[in-house]
Amino acid sequence: MGEPSLFDLILNGTVPSHKVAEGEHWYAFLDIFPRREGHTLVIPKQSVQRMLELTPQSRDALFDGVVQVQSVLSKHFNTQDFTVCVHDGPLAGQEIPHVHVHILPRHSGDGGGTLHSMWPLAEPHGGDVDHGQLAELSQRLQGVEQ
């Protein structure tokens, strides 16, 4: 493993953070460049870049942490709606090479969008649903060894 990531430095206390909640295997803190008030990051204490590299225990604990943070944010911001996002690897937009989950409280008219709005210039994949093409891809994916 190379140099510690920013999140490793947060976990070891070298870099300050603004804690929201914490569990044995995860830590949640406010994003320093929030897209919305309450924008929180939940990170595993296991230092890996991709979700596939997490142990089952770390992965399960991470998503338990996500739910706990949603509960805290829900009560504080009086909302039940959240955008929950993972950028899994640099080509997916991950800027810090450490698994992390973004949780953003949502409200009507908050200026946020849908997943499709993340690629406003991308051509849609056709107007009509091609069930034959989807069935073929589904079969190929089910044949991939796990």
Strands (E), 54-127: 82-86, 101-105
Q: Which amino acid is at 50?
A: R
Catalytic (active-site) positions: 100
Cα dihedral 62, 67, 73, 78 in deg (nearest 10)? 170
N-terminal to C-terminal alpha carbon distance within the chain? 25
Cα dihedral 23, 87, 18, 22 in deg (nearest 10)? 0
Which SS3 state, helix, strand or coil, does residue 113 take? coil
Residue/partner pairs of 114-123 with CB below 8 Å, 24 or more apart: none
Which SS3 state, helix, strand or coil, does residue 65 take? helix
